[in-house]
Amino acid sequence: MSEAAVVQGLTNPRGLGLERSPIRVREVSVTLSAWRLTIASEQGDGTITLVELSPENALFRGDGVFLGWSQDRLASVYETLAPKDEAAAPETQQLG
């Protein structure tokens, strides 16, 4: 299944990069670190920022084309387009 098919409302969406950035939120009085995913689509560009308030509580913020989207919708797009961790089981090296 292509990424464009699973992101309702966007045509040809693609993740352009994931970076760590400092962020302030009303819910917490200190500066936190967040993951900001930059996304391009035919409708325009935008970012989705993942803020992990605690191990059980995360929130998403949308900018650009994602402004005003619900938490559930932002979470779904973030999960779909964020780079996957490709660090699988360590490979055994063959020596000799």
Question: In the chain, where are the structural domains located?
Answer: 16-81
Listed as own residue / partner, the contacts of 55-63 with beta carbons closer than 8 Å and 24 or more positions apart are: 59/25, 59/27, 61/23
Q: Rounding to the nearest 10 degrees, give the CA dihedral for residues 58, 64, 68, 71.
A: -20
Residue type for 43, please?
Q
Say how far apart CA 50 and CA 58 lie, in whole Å: 7
pTM, whole model, 2 decimals? 0.77
Mean pLDDT of the chain, nearest integer: 84
pLDDT at 62: 96
Alpha helix positions (H), the chain: 3-6, 71-81
pLDDT at 58 exceeding the cut of 70: yes
| Backbone torsions φ then ψ of 46, nearest 5 degrees | -170, 175
